Amino acid sequence: MFNPEFLTTDQDPNSRNALIQYLQGQSPDVLQRVARSASGDIQDIIRHNVQGLLGMLPGEQFEVKIQTSRDHLAGLLASAMMTGYFLRQMEQRMEMEATLMADEEMAVNPDELTL
C-alpha cells in the first residue's frame, strides 16, 4: 500500500520539490492505483535487489536488525523506486513488442492475396 504521509517533508519551503508538490496535489485514490500497478514480477525483482543491497540475511531462525542513517535509507529507497520505474517501463515495452509481433503474425501479406 502507498503511504501518502511520505510526501510530507521537513525541507526548507523556499526549496520545494516540484515533484512532491505535484504528488501532494493528487488524490489518494490515484496514488494508490499507481502504487498497486507494479506486477508481481517487478516486486520480486525489487525485493531481490534490495536483499542484495542489504546482503543476504539469515533465515527465519534469526532476528536481524539493520542500522543505517536517514540519508543512506533514503538512498536505498530511491534506488528501489528508480529500479521499479525502470522495470515497469521495460515490462510495458515487452508487452508492446509482444502485441506488435502478434499483430504482424496475423497481418495479411498483400503478395499472398489472390483475386
The reply to whether 45 and 87 lie within a common domain is yes
The reply to whether 3 and 30 lie within a common domain is yes
Residue 7 has pLDDT above 60, yes or no: no
Mean pLDDT of the chain: 76
- Strand, coil or helix: 56: coil
- Asked if 54 and 66 touch (Cβ cutoff 8 Å), the reply is yes
Residue 109 has pLDDT above 60, yes or no: yes
Domain limits for position 83: 39-57+65-91
The reply to whether 53 and 83 lie within a common domain is yes
Query: Percent of the chain having pLDDT more than 70?
Result: 75
The reply to whether 72 and 30 lie within a common domain is no
* Cα Rg, the chain, nearest whole Å: 22
pLDDT per residue as tens digits for the range 47-83: 888 888 777 766 667 777 778 888 888 888 888 888 8
> In terms of pLDDT, which residue wins out, 110 or 73?
73
Average pLDDT for 14-25: 74
Q: Give the total number of structural domains in the chain.
A: 2
Nearest-10 Cα torsion for 65, 71, 72, 75 = 130
The reply to whether 31 and 4 lie within a common domain is yes
The reply to whether 48 and 69 lie within a common domain is yes
- Asked if 64 and 57 touch (Cβ cutoff 8 Å), the reply is yes
